[in-house]
Amino acid sequence: MAQSLYDKYGGFPAISSIVTDFYDRLMKSNSLNPYFKSVDMERLMDHQTKFLCMVLGGPNNYTGRALDAAHSRLNITPQAFGEVAGHLKAALEKAGVHGEDVSTILGVVAGTQGQIVKAH
């Protein structure tokens, strides 16, 4: 059986570190920061960590809302989605995730765009 990306990169502690770096990057972005006004960042980061763990083949402890419901009121643009993906790529690379695995993860993220982005 092939090793999951979750296990390959160190499980929950490593994923949690990646998510922390990822949100640090988002909060420093003048164009993305407004999306997070009045958001409980600790709760959001917990949800994101659990979601990413599940996506990478780890435990499925994600109990958040469906992606479309969670993002519907935010009016996320394709440009914002692309910038977020770029920050995720940078956080993954900084954590030492191999190029082919970064591509796999970003492919999963790209597959969620239709549920997150409002048509503009």
User: What is the structure's pLDDT at 23?
Assistant: 97
- Per-block average pLDDT, block size 10, for the chain (120 residues)? 90 96 96 91 93 90 82 89 96 96 93 83
Domain count, the chain: 1
User: What is the structure's pLDDT at 37?
Assistant: 87
User: What is the structure's pLDDT at 2?
Assistant: 79
CATH number of the domain where residue 103 is located:
1.10.490.10
Task: Write the DSSP string, the chain.
Answer: -PPPHHHHTTHHHHHHHHHHHHHHHHHH-TTTGGGGTT--HHHHHHHHHHHHHHHTTS-----PPPHHHHHGGG-B-HHHHHHHHHHHHHHHHHTT--HHHHHHHHHHHHTTHHHHBPP-
User: What is the structure's pLDDT at 96?
Assistant: 96
What's the pTM? 0.90
User: What is the structure's pLDDT at 59?
Assistant: 92
Domain range enclosing 93? 5-116
User: What is the structure's pLDDT at 64?
Assistant: 76
